[in-house]
C-alpha cells in the first residue's frame, strides 16, 4: 500500500489520519493531547503509536501536517475605511488561515496602539488607500506600529505609492516587513492572493519556529500549514472538483471549536432576484470568516452574552442555574465532556454558535426606494442557493443530534432579511478529516475528493 500520514496539531489535540492512496480510503485515525507546553512531539508520537496499533507496521511514504497549536496564526488587520480596505484586509488574513484578533480602521489611536501591544500578534496586515489614493493614513499607522515594543512581522498591502516608505518606517524598529500588492488596488476590487501568499510564507519561515514546531517540520515532506488554510483548500477542492472529477458546487462548512467558530463558503454570492442590487464590496467566491468570540469552551462566556442566557435556557429546556453551572465548569476546565443535562446545554451552545456565525457570514438585504419603486440592496453574499452545509468540530460531531445543531445554518422565518441557505442537504464530517484532506490534496487531489465524498455522511 501507498500510505500518506496527515497530522493536524491543534491547541488541545493532535489528530492523525493514515490514508491508503491506491485504495482511496482511510485505514486508521487517532488523536492525543498536543502537549504544546512541553514538546509537541510527545502528542504526535502518542498519536502515531495508536496509528501503528490500528494498522500494523505500515510504511509511511509521505508525512504532512497542519497546525493551530498555541492559538494558531494570530493576526491583526488594519485598513482605512471599515467596509472597504479594512474588510479587504480582514478577508485576506482569514483566507490565509489566520486567527484575526482585531481589525482596525482609520488612523490608529494611542488606545489602539496599547491594545495591539496587549494582544501581542504575530503578524499585522497593514493596508489602506487604493493605488494612487490616500497614503497619509497608512504612513501614520506604519509609524504607530513601529513604536509598539513587540516583535511582530508587518505585511504592507495598501496604496502602492506608500509601500516602500511604510517599509522604511517600520524597519527602523527592527521588525520584519514585507511589501506586497494592494489588497484593494481599485475601489471595490479585491486582490487578496498576494497578501495571502505573504502570510503563508511568514508562517512557514518564522511562526513554525516560534511555536516550537521545528522538529515536527523536519519529519514532514511538505511545509506545515495553518489548519484553517488546509480546511480552506479542502473546501475549494470539494466545491470545484478537479479536471477529472466534478465537485459539489456551492457549499458552506462550519467548524465549531472551543475558542472560535470558523465558517467557510464557496459560492459566487451574486443577487438571485431581478429587483436586488449589490451594495458595497463584492466578496470572493471562496470566503472564510472566523468568529473569535463564538466558541463552546474558551469563549463560552461571550457566546452566552451574544445569545442571551434566557434564550439558551428556553432552547435547552433547562433552568438558568444549570446553564451558569456549565459555563463555570467550562471556564475552569475546558476539556470537560458534558454528561446528563449538560449535554442538552452543550448542544444548544453549538446550535447558537452556528446560528450566530451563519448570520454574520451570510449577506442580507435592505429595502429602499428608487424612481421605479421599491428595490432591495444586497450587502455580502447571497448563499440562499447553497447545496450542502457541512458540520465539523467536536461539539457538532459528538452531539447526540448533529442535524438539529446544523439546522441553525438554514434560513428560518426569524432570520428576516438574511441570505442564509434555503434548502441545503446537511452533511457531517464525522471523522473530522477536513484538514487532513486539504493536506492530502497537495499531492493527490482526486483521492482527497473521493474520500470526502464517501466520508461526509448525510444526516
- Based on the fold, state whether residues 434 and 316 are members of the same structural domain: yes
Give the span between the Cα atoms of 29 and 437, in whole angstroms: 13
- pLDDT of 445 > 90? The answer is yes
Q: What is the mean pLDDT of residues 135-141?
A: 96
> For strand 225-226 and strand 60-67, is the pairing parallel, antiparallel, or unpaired?
parallel
For residue 386, being part of any structural domain is answered with yes
User: pLDDT tens digit string along 166-180?
Assistant: 999 999 999 999 999
For residue 12, being part of any structural domain is answered with yes
- Based on the fold, state whether residues 61 and 82 are members of the same structural domain: no
Q: What is the mean pLDDT of residues 233-261?
A: 93
Q: What is the mean pLDDT of residues 238-242?
A: 96
Place of cell 511589501: 179
- Based on the fold, state whether residues 58 and 118 are members of the same structural domain: no
For residue 229, being part of any structural domain is answered with no
- pLDDT of 97 > 80? The answer is yes
For residue 228, being part of any structural domain is answered with no
The enclosing domain of 94 has a CATH number of 3.40.50.360
- Based on the fold, state whether residues 219 and 288 are members of the same structural domain: no
Q: What pLDDT does 212 receive?
A: 85
Q: What is the mean pLDDT of residues 284-299?
A: 91
Q: What is the mean pLDDT of residues 275-289?
A: 92
- Based on the fold, state whether residues 284 and 330 are members of the same structural domain: yes
Q: What pLDDT does 119 receive?
A: 95
- Based on the fold, state whether residues 199 and 248 are members of the same structural domain: no
- Based on the fold, state whether residues 95 and 52 are members of the same structural domain: no
Q: For all residues of the chain together, what is the average pLDDT?
A: 93
Q: What pLDDT does 101 receive?
A: 92
User: pLDDT tens digit string along 372-413?
Assistant: 888 999 999 999 999 999 999 888 998 999 999 999 999 999
User: pLDDT tens digit string along 4-62?
Assistant: 999 999 877 899 999 999 999 999 999 998 877 778 899 999 999 999 999 887 899 99
User: pLDDT tens digit string along 198-215?
Assistant: 999 999 888 888 788 999
How many domains would you assign to the chain? 3
- Based on the fold, state whether residues 218 and 244 are members of the same structural domain: no
Q: What pLDDT does 58 receive?
A: 85
pTM given for the model: 0.90
DSSP string, 202-248: HIIIIIHHHTT-HHHHHH-SS--EEHHHHHHHHHHHHHHB-SSSB--
274 band by pLDDT with thresholds 50, 70 and 90: confident
- Based on the fold, state whether residues 50 and 123 are members of the same structural domain: no
Number of H helices, E strands in the chain: 17, 19
Q: What is the mean pLDDT of residues 83-107?
A: 92
425 band by pLDDT with thresholds 50, 70 and 90: very high
For residue 393, being part of any structural domain is answered with yes
| Structural element, H or E, at residue 264 | strand 261-266
Q: Do 81 and 119 touch, CB atoms closer than 8 A?
A: no
Q: What pLDDT does 406 receive?
A: 97
Inter-CA distances, 215 with 48, 107, 218, Å? 15, 41, 5
- Based on the fold, state whether residues 293 and 351 are members of the same structural domain: yes
The enclosing domain of 26 has a CATH number of 3.30.420.40
| Range in 32-46, 216-230, 245-259 the model is least confident about | 32-46
For residue 290, being part of any structural domain is answered with yes
268 phi and psi angles, rounded to 5 deg: -65, -45
Inter-CA distances, 1 with 59, 319, 375, 454, Å? 8, 54, 60, 20
- Based on the fold, state whether residues 265 and 345 are members of the same structural domain: yes
Q: What pLDDT does 11 receive?
A: 73
427 phi and psi angles, rounded to 5 deg: -115, 155
Task: Give the other-Cβ count within 10 Å of 48's Cβ.
Answer: 21
Query: Higher-confidence residue: 414 or 137?
Result: 137
Report the percentage of the chain scoring pLDDT > 70. Answer: 100
Q: What pLDDT does 56 receive?
A: 84
For residue 29, being part of any structural domain is answered with yes
Q: What is the mean pLDDT of residues 134-145?
A: 96
Q: What is the mean pLDDT of residues 232-243?
A: 95
User: pLDDT tens digit string along 302-351?
Assistant: 999 999 999 999 999 999 999 999 999 999 988 788 999 999 999 999 99
- Based on the fold, state whether residues 142 and 256 are members of the same structural domain: no
User: pLDDT tens digit string along 144-171?
Assistant: 999 999 999 999 999 999 999 999 999 9
Query: Higher-confidence residue: 292 or 238?
Result: 238
Alpha helices in 308-444 (DSSP H): 309-316, 320-332, 341-361, 394-397, 402-406, 434-440
Give the span between the Cα atoms of 213 and 404, in whole angstroms: 38
Range of the domain at 438: 237-458
Q: What pLDDT does 183 receive?
A: 95
Amino acid at each position: 500500500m501507498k500510505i500518506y500520514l496527515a497530522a493536524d496539531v491543534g491547541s488541545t489535540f493532535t489528530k492523525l489520519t493514515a490514508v491508503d492512496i491506491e485504495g482511496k480510503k482511510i485505514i486508521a485515525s487517532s488523536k492525543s493531547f498536543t502537549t504544546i507546553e512541553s514538546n509537541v512531539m510527545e502528542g504526535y508520537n502518542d498519536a502515531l503509536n495508536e496509528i501503528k496499533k490500528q494498522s500494523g507496521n505500515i510504511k509511511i511514504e509521505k508525512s504532512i501536517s497542519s497546525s493551530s497549536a498555541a492559538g494558531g496564526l494570530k493576526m491583526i488587520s488594519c485598513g482605512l475605511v471599515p467596509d472597504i480596505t479594512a474588510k479587504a484586509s480582514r478577508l485576506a488574513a482569514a483566507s490565509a488561515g489566520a486567527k484575526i484578533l482585531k481589525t482596525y480602521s482609520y488612523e490608529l489611536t494611542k488606545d489602539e496602539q496599547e491594545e495591539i501591544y496587549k494582544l501581542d500578534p504575530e503578524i499585522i496586515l497593514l493596508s489602506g488607500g487604493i493605488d494612487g489614493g490616500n497614503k497619509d493614513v497608512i504612513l501614520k499607522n506604519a509609524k504607530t506600529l513601529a513604536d509598539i515594543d513587540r516583535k511582530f512581522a508587518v505585511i504592507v498591502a495598501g496604496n502602492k505609492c506608500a509601500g516602500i516608505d511604510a517599509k522604511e518606517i517600520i524597519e527602523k524598529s527592527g521588525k520584519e516587513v514585507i511589501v506586497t500588492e494592494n489588497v484593494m488596488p481599485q475601489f471595490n476590487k479585491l486582490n487578496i492572493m498576494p497578501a495571502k501568499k505573504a502570510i503563508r510564507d511568514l508562517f512557514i519561515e518564522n511562526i513554525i519556529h516560534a511555536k516550537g514546531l521545528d522538529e515536527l517540520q523536519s519529519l514532514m515532506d511538505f511545509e506545515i500549514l495553518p489548519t484553517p488554510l488546509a480546511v480552506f483548500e479542502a473546501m475549494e477542492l470539494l466545491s470545484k472538483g478537479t479536471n477529472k472529477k466534478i465537485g459539489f458546487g456551492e457549499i458552506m462548512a462550519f467548524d465549531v471549536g472551543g475558542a472560535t467558530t470558523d465558517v467557510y463558503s464557496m459560492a459566487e454570492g451574486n443577487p438571485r432576484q431581478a429587483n436586488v442590487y449589490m451594495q458595497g464590496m463584492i466578496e470572493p467566491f471562496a470566503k472564510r470568516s472566523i468568529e473569535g468570540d463564538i466558541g463552546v469552551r474558551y469563549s463560552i462566556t461571550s457566546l452566552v452574552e451574544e445569545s442571551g442566557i434566557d434564550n439558551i435556557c428556553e432552547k435547552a429546556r433547562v433552568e438558568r442555574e444549570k446553564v451558569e453551572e456549565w459555563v463555570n465548569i467550562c471556564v475552569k476546565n475546558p476539556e470537560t465532556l458534558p454528561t446528563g443535562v449538560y449535554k442538552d446545554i452543550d448542544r444548544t451552545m453549538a446550535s447558537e454558535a452556528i446560528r450566530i456565525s451563519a448570520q454574520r457570514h451570510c449577506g442580507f438585504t435592505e429595502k429602499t426606494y428608487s424612481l421605479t419603486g421599491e428595490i432591495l440592496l444586497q450587502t455580502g453574499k447571497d448563499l440562499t442557493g447553497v447545496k450542502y452545509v457541512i458540520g465539523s468540530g467536536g461539539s457538532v460531531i459528538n452531539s447526540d443530534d448533529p442535524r438539529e445543531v446544523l439546522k441553525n445554518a438554514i434560513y428560518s422565518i426569524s432570520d428576516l432579511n438574511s441570505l442564509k441557505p434555503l434548502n441545503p442537504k446537511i452533511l457531517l464530517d464525522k471523522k473530522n478529516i477536513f484538514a487532513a484532506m486539504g493536506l492530502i490534496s497537495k499531492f493527490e487531489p482526486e483521492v482527497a475528493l473521493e474520500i470526502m465524498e464517501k466520508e461526509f455522511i448525510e444526516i
